[in-house]
């Protein structure tokens, strides 16, 4: 359990939600002009049949366009040319949607790439001689030197020295962070800048496989692979496309039998209208945009698969510190014991904490000042600070012959007994009652005498309780992970409203818990940063490594949170769900649209042979040709109209599956049936009004 | 009122069967019923297999295909040499090759499409050893596939889905044999004939007319044909023949027998997957579709027959009686027609061809939905589960989860198999109908001209690809073209769905269960029932709308109204919508 | 695979014996033992009560034998040839068939020649072509014809028709109807 104690936690928002991040992604308006221009050009480039053939639905449209084009040349009519143009536009719009989504990533990738190219490294050779090489020539295992002002050339581990590093290029967080050799804060990322001091870094990334490289290819979507659900959906769309081909093709013989001449152009138009072009056109854009939304929140997913898995997560393992409680425990009360005064406790506690730079330590100093006006003292005489260690579990100060200690109750008690002191009655009760309230008791002692107890209060984030209630409604179990003892953990768990907790968590216990959840058929998401979190991160279905964490942790997880904000986990789940919902909703919409298109085209197709079929023209469209053209125009324009939705994603609010389904079926199912009736009619009215016919 | 009470009686009887036959069938397929062990065990010994030999889906499908191939061949051979076989009092000769092929496929696939008049073409031997045997066996195979699919859902991390031989034997012995036998006795008591004697010649002393009355082992074949949703009767007139279906009571029993197993299988499904509500949800979707089609069709048949009206009888209080029997009347005949086309039965108690256009539309479109309400024995359940998988997939995405059904994740492979299984039928129907209307041999088939002729061809292939077997019998189906193409349609409609279904069973059985939570897409409530119905209607509607427009719809619209006068007001509720827009905006 | 084929052949033979012959013969045995009359076709002295027959005397243009109540026409011989029980089946004419209009019209004309305004049942073929029954209304419209040919008063015939009408089974299954053979046998006793 390292995350509770290490690392500055960036922007731990008070309401439990991650704040709007600004980082590598920055914020771009949906229709940035630069992106629009890029998308326009790219849409034309994507007309390459070799590109199109990978998208079966759009490929059929392209083939259809060619057919109507040939038909238009041989039998030129305004109608056939209009259809040809609009079919062509349909393909173009689909390309445009995809290019729009890619364009956003492309812009980010460009700025990252600029950062990479200007880096030059100072490599240490065998004899500790420095030589200057391009960053791209560094190999794994090389040692490089970085001094204040240098860009760190590649990912690595500090082997020597301490430095403050500006990681804003990657994380967007402007406050510098401390990196030092050894421990969990030794990892540095290529492309970040050293602000002070000198460090020696051992390169840990293979050439071309640095974090930056990975990030670039991720935001660019260069080797984007289809995710499992996307593949399944593509198959469904292919099925729906395949089935409509015979449906339309046999209309030729059917019509012939009935004595009707069936126009090839209308048949192509019908086919294009029936196959799910809307979702077919937007499918890849939705996927790219989903990844992009993660990047916007400063989370890098190593694969689209992980993003989808996030939507399926049923159990969230949340670190207490930083996620459920504010990052730090705060001293809130001094309790005297064994006849000492509160003032004595405060005084000793402050002295013991003077050298303690942890937030807890600072809060003790501050509380003593606030309560009793005890000022921070400059120690003039000979003194020695006793740092906290995992074995003693105490820290303190030896000054003027006084030995002052503060620490865990049992540790201090043992120390006192060893020094011949005794434990005052009532201490145990005091310690336990503090624990039971979810606070941490720190016992203060001086020279074999216990003075009292400091209460360190864990402050549960505002709004987190409601957030967990929403999660529960959405069927997601929350489990709090903490190093605290079970008593403390239970109290905080109760206050925060999590479903379960794991107290005194060890990496093994965490791994065990994940396995148990998975055994029960639940997908698990967790965050972690320490090297000892790596197995659990690897085991979890969604493992989010903090960017401040070790390389091992980052390698093991399938996402990296650049802000190192554990609360993100909840956002990640949300984005995963949004991705699937957007696909499902647009598929439903696309299929539901077919009903209206049938009512536009079928009467038009056969009304010449069977005038009685005009009763099916329930939209009262002007003429057979205007009806067909209106349907085709609608079919093309709806793609454009839905691009913003595809890029932004359908909204997801945590609520029961039932409620979400009802809402989306209503909007995209029923709406999908009704909307085209209205819009096809409007287009028809427009065409008639401008005397297209 | 008669109609109403008939439905009440039918629903009550089927509901009782749902509960008790369902429970019994669960016990049968779990191997807990053993009272015929003295027959069952020796069969396993002969086969060298048994319940302890579980099969993977591939072996299961392999056994099914091998067995089907063998019985197809045996059926064909018996028809070809029936002249030399016993039990042939009318001395009927060999059945021609194309007809033998079509007929053998037809009974193998549970279709029972009959391009022949039974009483004048097939010997008693053939009727008993081919038709009747396949009516048992094809039904048992259908149930076996459904049970295998259910096992796919209920098992976890399993590589096997049961044993084909055991499932088939158990279905025949414990489910079909006893029920058909008991029902057969009731049918005989009501007047259905059952004899091995030849035709009777009888002279009426009142008017001096001599009648030849064909007889045969009819009654017991009648009950298995209904129970197995096979539909192929002994006589040409099928369930309209007084010797097959003599009274109102046998008519009701026919309906109940048809619905028995398909409906009870939803109970089996619910029980075996551990939640009866899941079975009820599927049954609810079936029932709602069934109810809509019944209302529509019965209403249509209660209208006058336009041709009869044109001939001078305008007052037709009894509804459309052309091709219907007086003892059943218009609406109860329509009920029979709907029951038989919403299952894969295809038996008739009147002439489907003579239904009013919208009545015929009801029968035709009932089959076009894939026969899932409640569908054939086994096939109804496994087909609706394929639709359910698609519904779950789309619905599951809409709530933001990798879709899962009964704890099984629905992924690329499942979507592929389910989608494939669903699109086989429409594509088969449309392509073969397209061929038929394009070539001379196909165009020569229909008896009626114009749109009705088109409907006859469309109906024929819809019926065969759905393994239904009912017909717009005006089509002259006994030609080389229709025999061969029909055989192809039936084989596709049966086995090209069964194989992916078994693959699906294998794929599901191997999966682990995903735990259910509030975030899980629920498949046991109204919302899902609605979604499932929606998917069935949308798939059926989108694939067949153009085709039916050219058949029954055009036919009906010839008089510019649906249902005579009645559908007019319904449709006019749509038209103001058009006025509204054109008037309001311009 | 060979194994599967061997099993297939064995099981096919077992099933033919068990489900074809044991089932069929056992059924026939039970039927003949307990319901011999029904199992053999419900034959009475004058025909089968379940099979319609020709009361007309095989005319294709008019009603020759007017002293009997008539059933519904047969599919193969539209004018009253009901009763060719060798092969059953309907005419299968669609609801807008010109043939159906023509044939039904011929029947209407034939009936009207003998003073009967026919009901729809009397000019349409049944599903089996062997329908043994008519509705009460079908019988009532024939009374003027039968009365004229037999000299029995219409009121007595009406009473006969009402008496011979069988209600629907259990009061709701099927419709109420008259068996034409039984009606004519009762009519014969009246004469």
Over residues A392-408, mean pLDDT: 84
What's the CA gap between A344 and A445, in Å, rounded?
10
Q: How confident is the model at residue C15 (pLDDT cuts 50, 70, 90)?
A: very high
Q: Give a yes or no: residue B325 inside a domain.
A: yes
Q: How confident is the model at residue C85 (pLDDT cuts 50, 70, 90)?
A: very low
Lowest pLDDT segment from A373-387, A443-457, C109-123: A373-387
Lowest pLDDT segment from A356-365, B258-267, C65-74: A356-365
- Say how far residue A582 (Cα) sits from the centre of its chain: 16
Q: Which residues contact C137 (CB under 8 A, 6 or more apart)?
A: B317, B318, C119, C121
- B42, B47, B52, B55: CA torsion to nearest 10: -150
Q: Give a yes or no: residue B514 inside a domain.
A: yes
Local structure of B154: helix, strand or coil: helix
Does residue B419 register a pLDDT over 90? yes
What H or E segment, with its residue span, contains residue B168?
helix B164-170
Whether the CB-CB separation of B7 and B154 falls below 8 Å is answered with no
Predicted local distance difference test score (pLDDT) of residue A12: 35
Lowest pLDDT segment from A323-332, B195-204, B437-446: A323-332
User: Residue B262's closest CA among B229, B310, B308?
Assistant: B229
Q: Where are the beta strands (DSSP E) in A288-393?
A: 299-301, 315-319, 325-336, 383-386
Q: Give a yes or no: residue B535 inside a domain.
A: yes
What's the CA gap between A68 and A85, in Å, rounded?
9
Chain C hits for B118, CB-CB cut-off 8 Å, are: none
- Which of C34, C126, C172 has the CB atom closest to B240's CB atom? C126
Strand A315-319 relative to strand A477-481: parallel, antiparallel, unpaired? parallel
Interface test with B, best of A242, A259, A661 (most B CBs within 10 A): A661
Does residue B487 register a pLDDT over 90? yes
Interface test with A, best of B281, B389, B399 (most A CBs within 10 A): B399
Q: Is the CB of B69 less than 8 angstroms away from the CB of C8?
A: yes
Angle of helix C2-15 versus helix B57-80 axis, rounded to 10: 50
Does residue B577 register a pLDDT over 60? no
Whether the CB-CB separation of B106 and B231 falls below 8 Å is answered with no
Whether the CB-CB separation of C11 and B165 falls below 8 Å is answered with yes
Q: Give a yes or no: residue B209 inside a domain.
A: yes
Catalytic residue among A155, A166, A184, A319: A319
User: Residue C175's closest CA among C183, C167, C184, C186?
Assistant: C167
Strand A143-147 relative to strand A198-203: parallel, antiparallel, unpaired? antiparallel
Predicted local distance difference test score (pLDDT) of residue C47: 81
Domain ranges for chain C: 2-39, 43-190
| Length, in residues, of chain C | 191
What is the reported pTM? Answer: 0.88
Summarised one tens digit per residue, pLDDT across range A110-143 is 777 776 666 778 888 876 788 888 877 888 888 8
Q: Give a yes or no: residue B34 inside a domain.
A: yes
User: Residue B482's closest CA among B508, B456, B511?
Assistant: B456
What's the CA gap between A541 and A543, in Å, rounded?
6
- Which of C72, C94, C168 has the CB atom closest to B354's CB atom? C94
Chain B hits for A231, CB-CB cut-off 8 Å, are: 412
- Which of A256, A578, A602 has the CB atom closest to B400's CB atom? A578
- Find the residue in B nearest to A313 (Cα): B401
Q: Give a yes or no: residue B383 inside a domain.
A: yes
Predicted local distance difference test score (pLDDT) of residue B576: 34
Higher pLDDT, B78 or B551: B78
Predicted local distance difference test score (pLDDT) of residue B370: 92
Number of domains in chain B: 1
- Catalytic (active site) residue A32: no
What's the CA gap between B233 and A144, in Å, rounded?
90
Local structure of A479: helix, strand or coil: strand
Chain B contact present for A593, CB below 8 A: no
Q: Give a yes or no: residue B586 inside a domain.
A: no
Predicted local distance difference test score (pLDDT) of residue B559: 54
Chain B hits for C121, CB-CB cut-off 8 Å, are: 318, 321, 326
Local structure of B334: helix, strand or coil: helix
> Quick one: B151 exposed, middle or buried, by C-beta within 10 A (0-12, 13-18, 19+)?
buried
Over residues A590-605, mean pLDDT: 91
DSSP code at position B87: S
Cα A193-A196-A198 angle, rounded to 5 deg: 90
Q: Is the CB of B181 less than 8 angstroms away from the CB of C23?
A: yes
Does residue B180 register a pLDDT over 90? yes
Place of tokens 């192509």: A268
Strand B408-409 relative to strand B404-405: parallel, antiparallel, unpaired? antiparallel
Summarised one tens digit per residue, pLDDT across range C26-76 is 999 999 999 999 999 898 888 888 888 777 655 556 777 888 898 888 744
Q: How confident is the model at residue A11 (pLDDT cuts 50, 70, 90)?
A: very low
Does residue B539 register a pLDDT over 50? yes
Domain that holds residue B316: 3-581
Predicted local distance difference test score (pLDDT) of residue B561: 43
Q: Give a yes or no: residue B411 inside a domain.
A: yes
Over residues A206-211, mean pLDDT: 78
Chain A hits for B517, CB-CB cut-off 8 Å, are: 314, 475-477, 522
At residue C35, φ and ψ (nearest 5 deg) are -130, 55
Predicted local distance difference test score (pLDDT) of residue B80: 96
Q: Which two tokens stand for residue A29?
A: 């308006």
Lowest pLDDT segment from A236-240, B63-67, B516-520, C115-119: B516-520
Predicted local distance difference test score (pLDDT) of residue A21: 37
Interface test with B, best of C3, C6, C12, C19 (most B CBs within 10 A): C19
Chain B hits for C1, CB-CB cut-off 8 Å, are: 62, 66
Q: Is the CB of B390 less than 8 angstroms away from the CB of A236?
A: yes
Computed over every residue of chain A, the mean pLDDT equals 84
Phi-psi map region of B117: left, alpha, beta (phi>0 left; psi -120 to 50 alpha): beta
Over residues C137-149, mean pLDDT: 94
Q: In A, residues 672-691, which contact B (CB 8 Å cutoff)?
A: 677-678, 681-682, 685, 689
Chain B contact present for C136, CB below 8 A: no
Q: Is the CB of B571 less than 8 angstroms away from the CB of A615?
A: yes
| ipTM score assigned to the predicted complex | 0.92
- Which of A311, A581, A602 has the CB atom closest to B549's CB atom? A602
Lowest pLDDT segment from A435-449, A561-575, C46-60: C46-60
User: Residue B70's closest CA among C21, C12, C17, C3?
Assistant: C12
Over residues A467-477, mean pLDDT: 85
Higher pLDDT, A226 or C15: C15
Strand C133-134 relative to strand C178-179: parallel, antiparallel, unpaired? antiparallel
Predicted local distance difference test score (pLDDT) of residue A174: 64
Lowest pLDDT segment from A120-134, A194-208, B565-579, C78-92: B565-579
Q: Which two tokens stand for residue B177?
A: 């044999």
Question: What percent of chain A has a predicted confidence (pLDDT) above 70?
Answer: 92
Q: Is the CB of B133 less than 8 angstroms away from the CB of C16?
A: yes
For chain B, the distance separating the N- and C-terminal CA atoms, rounded to the nearest angstrom, is 51
Predicted local distance difference test score (pLDDT) of residue A172: 62
A577: Cα within 13 Å, side-chain hemisphere? 26
Chain B contact present for C96, CB below 8 A: yes
- Find the residue in C nearest to B118 (Cα): C87
Higher pLDDT, C150 or B579: C150
Predicted local distance difference test score (pLDDT) of residue A210: 78
Q: Which two tokens stand for residue C129?
A: 């072509």
What's the CA gap between B312 and B477, in Å, rounded?
32
Q: Which two tokens stand for residue C40?
A: 């053999």
Summarised one tens digit per residue, pLDDT across range B282-332 is 999 999 999 999 999 999 999 999 889 988 898 999 899 999 999 999 999
- A586, A587, A590, A594: CA torsion to nearest 10: -150
């Amino acid at each position: 359990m390292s995350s509770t104690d290490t690392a500055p936690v960036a922007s731990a928002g008070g309401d439990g939600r991650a704040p709007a991040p600004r980082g590598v992604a920055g914020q771009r308006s949906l229709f940035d002009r630069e992106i629009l221009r890029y998308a326009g050009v790219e849409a034309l480039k994507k007309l390459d049949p070799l590109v199109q053939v990978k998208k079966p639905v759009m490929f059929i449209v392209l083939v259809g366009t060619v057919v109507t084009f040939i038909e238009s040349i041989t039998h030129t009519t305004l109608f056939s040319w209009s259809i040809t143009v609009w079919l062509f536009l349909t393909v173009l719009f689909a390309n445009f949607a995809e290019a729009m989504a890619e364009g956003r990533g492309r812009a980010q990738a460009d700025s990252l790439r600029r950062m990479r190219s200007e880096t030059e490294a100072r490599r240490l050779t065998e004899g500790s001689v420095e030589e200057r090489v391009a960053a791209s020539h560094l190999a794994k295992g090389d040692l490089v030197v970085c001094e204040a002002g240098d860009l760190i050339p590649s990912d690595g581990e500090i082997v020597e020295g301490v430095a403050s590093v500006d990681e804003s290029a990657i994380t967007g967080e402007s406050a510098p962070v401390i990196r030092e050799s050894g421990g969990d804060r030794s990892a540095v990322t290529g492309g970040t800048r050293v602000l002070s001091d000198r460090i020696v870094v051992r390169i840990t990334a293979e050439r071309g496989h640095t974090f930056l490289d990975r990030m670039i290819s991720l935001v660019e979507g260069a080797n984007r692979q289809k995710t499992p659900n996307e593949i399944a959906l593509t198959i469904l769309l292919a099925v729906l496309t395949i089935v409509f081909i015979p449906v339309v093709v046999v209309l030729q013989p059917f019509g012939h039998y009935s004595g009707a001449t069936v126009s090839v152009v209308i048949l192509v138009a019908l086919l294009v209208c029936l196959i799910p072009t809307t979702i077919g056109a937007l499918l890849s854009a939705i996927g790219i945009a989903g990844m992009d939304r993660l990047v916007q929140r400063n989370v890098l997913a190593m694969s689209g698969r992980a993003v989808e898995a996030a939507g399926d997560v049923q159990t969230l393992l949340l670190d207490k510190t930083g996620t459920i409680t504010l990052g730090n425990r705060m001293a809130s009360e001094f309790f005297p014991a064994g006849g000492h005064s509160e003032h004595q406790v405060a005084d000793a506690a402050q002295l013991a904490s003077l050298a303690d730079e942890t937030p807890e330590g600072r809060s003790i100093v501050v509380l003593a000042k606030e309560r009793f006006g005890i000022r921070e003292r400059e120690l003039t005489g000979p003194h020695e600070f006793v740092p906290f260690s995992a074995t003693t579990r105490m820290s303190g100060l030896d000054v003027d012959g006084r030995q002052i200690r503060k620490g865990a109750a049992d540790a201090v008690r043992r120390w006192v007994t060893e020094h011949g002191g005794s434990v005052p009655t009532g201490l145990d009760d005091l310690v336990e009652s503090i624990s039971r309230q979810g606070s941490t008791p720190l016992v203060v002692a001086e020279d074999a005498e216990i003075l009292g107890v400091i209460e360190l209060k864990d402050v549960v984030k505002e709004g987190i309780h409601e957030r967990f209630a929403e999660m529960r409604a959405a069927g997601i179990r929350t489990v709090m992970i903490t190093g605290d003892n079970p008593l403390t953990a239970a109290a905080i768990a109760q206050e925060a409203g999590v479903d379960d907790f794991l107290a005194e968590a060890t990496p093994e216990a965490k791994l065990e818990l994940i396995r148990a959840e998975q055994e029960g058929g639940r997908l698990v998401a967790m965050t972690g940063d320490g090297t000892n979190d790596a197995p659990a991160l690897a085991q979890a279905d969604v493992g989010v490594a903090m960017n401040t964490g070790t390389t091992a942790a980052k390698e093991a997880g399938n996402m990296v949170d650049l802000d190192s904000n554990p609360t993100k986990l909840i956002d990640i789940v949300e984005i995963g769900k949004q991705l699937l919902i957007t696909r499902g909703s647009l598929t439903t919409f696309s299929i539901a649209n077919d009903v209206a298109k049938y009512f536009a085209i079928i009467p038009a197709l056969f009304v010449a042979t069977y005038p009685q079929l005009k009763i099916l023209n329930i939209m009262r469209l002007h003429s057979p040709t205007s009806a067909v053209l209106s349907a085709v125009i609608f079919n093309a324009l709806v793609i454009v109209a839905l691009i913003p939705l595809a890029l932004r994603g359908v909204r997801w609010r945590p609520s029961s599956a039932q409620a979400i389904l009802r809402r989306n079926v209503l909007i995209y199912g029923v709406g999908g049936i009704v909307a085209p009736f209205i819009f096809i009619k409007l287009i028809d009215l427009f065409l008639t009004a401008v005397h297209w016919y | 009122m008669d109609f109403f009470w008939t439905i009440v009686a039918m629903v009550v009887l089927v509901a009782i069967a749902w509960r008790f036959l369902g429970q019994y069938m669960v016990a049968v397929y779990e191997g807990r019923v053993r009272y015929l062990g003295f027959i069952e065990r020796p069969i396993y010994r002969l086969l060298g297999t048994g319940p302890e030999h579980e099969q993977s889906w591939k072996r299961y499908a392999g056994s099914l295909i091998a067995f089907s191939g063998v019985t197809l061949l045996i059926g064909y051979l018996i028809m070809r040499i029936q002249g030399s076989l016993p039990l042939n009092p009318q001395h009927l000769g060999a059945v021609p090759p194309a007809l033998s092929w079509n007929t053998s496929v037809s009974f193998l696939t549970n279709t029972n499409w009959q391009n022949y008049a039974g009483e004048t073409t097939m010997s008693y031997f053939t009727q008993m050893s081919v038709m009747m045997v396949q009516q048992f066996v094809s039904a048992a195979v259908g149930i076996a596939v459904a049970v295998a699919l259910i096992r796919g859902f209920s098992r976890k991390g399993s590589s096997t889905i049961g044993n084909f031989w055991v499932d088939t034997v158990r279905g025949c012995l414990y489910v079909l044999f006893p029920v058909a036998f008991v029902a057969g006795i009731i049918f005989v008591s009501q007047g259905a004939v059952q004899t091995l004697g030849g035709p009777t010649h009888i002279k009426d002393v009142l008017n001096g007319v001599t009648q030849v009355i064909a007889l045969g082992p009819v009654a017991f074949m009648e009950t298995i044909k209904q129970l197995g949703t096979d539909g192929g009767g002994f006589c040409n007139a099928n369930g309209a023949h007084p010797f097959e279906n003599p009274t109102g009571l046998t008519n009701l029993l026919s309906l109940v027998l048809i619905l028995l197993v398909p409906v009870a299988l939803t109970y089996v499904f619910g029980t075996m997957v551990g939640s009866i509500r899941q079975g009820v949800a599927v049954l609810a979707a079936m029932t709602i579709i069934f109810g809509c089609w019944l209302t529509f069709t019965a209403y249509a048949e209660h209208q006058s027959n336009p041709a009869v009206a044109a001939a001078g009888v305008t007052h037709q209080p009894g509804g459309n009686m052309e091709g219907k029997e007086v003892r059943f009347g218009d609406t109860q005949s329509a009920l029979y027609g709907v029951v038989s086309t919403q299952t894969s039965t295809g038996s008739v108690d009147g002439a489907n061809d003579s239904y009013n256009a919208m009545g015929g539309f009801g029968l035709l479109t009932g089959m076009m939905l894939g026969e899932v309400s409640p569908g054939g024995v086994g096939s109804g359940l496994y087909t609706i589960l394929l639709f359910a998988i698609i519904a779950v997939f789309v619905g599951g995405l809409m709530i933001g989860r990798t879709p899962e059904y009964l704890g099984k994740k629905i992924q690329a492979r499942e979507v592929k198999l389910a989608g494939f299984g669903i699109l086989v039928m429409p594509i088969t129907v449309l392509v073969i109908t397209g061929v038929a209307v394009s070539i001379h041999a196909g165009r020569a088939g229909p008896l009626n001209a114009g749109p009705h002729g088109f409907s006859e061809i469309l109906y024929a292939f819809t019926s065969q690809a759905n393994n239904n077997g009912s017909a717009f019998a005006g089509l002259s189906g006994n030609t080389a073209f229709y025999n061969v193409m029909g055989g192809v349609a039936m084989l596709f409609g049966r086995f090209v769905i069964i194989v992916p279904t078994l693959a699906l069973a294998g794929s599901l059985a191997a999966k682990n269960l995903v735990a259910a939570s509030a975030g899980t897409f629920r498949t046991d409530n109204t919302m899902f029932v609605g979604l499932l119905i929606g998917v069935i209607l949308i798939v059926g509607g989108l694939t067949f709308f153009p085709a039916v427009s050219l058949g029954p719809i055009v036919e009906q619209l010839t008089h510019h109204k649906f249902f005579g006068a009645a559908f007019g007001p319904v449709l006019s509720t749509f038209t103001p919508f058009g006025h509204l827009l054109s008037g309001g905006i311009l | 695979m060979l194994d599967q084929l061997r099993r297939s052949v064995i099981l096919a033979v077992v099933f033919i014996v068990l489900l074809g012959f044991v089932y069929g013969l056992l059924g026939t045995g039970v039927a003949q033992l307990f319901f011999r009359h029904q199992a053999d076709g419900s034959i009475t002295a004058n025909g089968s009560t379940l099979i319609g027959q020709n009361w007309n005397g095989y005319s294709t243009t008019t009603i020759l034998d007017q002293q009997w109540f008539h059933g519904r026409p047969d599919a193969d011989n539209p004018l009253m040839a009901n009763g060719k029980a060798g092969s059953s089946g309907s005419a299968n004419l669609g609801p807008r068939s010109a043939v159906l209009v023509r044939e039904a019209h011929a029947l209407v004309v034939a009936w009207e020649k003998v003073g009967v305004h026919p009901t729809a049942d009397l000019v349409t073929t049944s599903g089996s072509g062997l329908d043994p029954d008519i509705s009460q209304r079908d019988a009532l419209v024939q009374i003027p014809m039968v009365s004229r040919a037999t000299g029995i008063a219409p009121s007595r015939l009406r009473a006969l028709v009402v008496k011979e009408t069988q209600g629907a089974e259990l009061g709701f299954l099927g419709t109420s109807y008259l068996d034409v053979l039984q009606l004519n046998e009762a009519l014969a006793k009246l004469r």
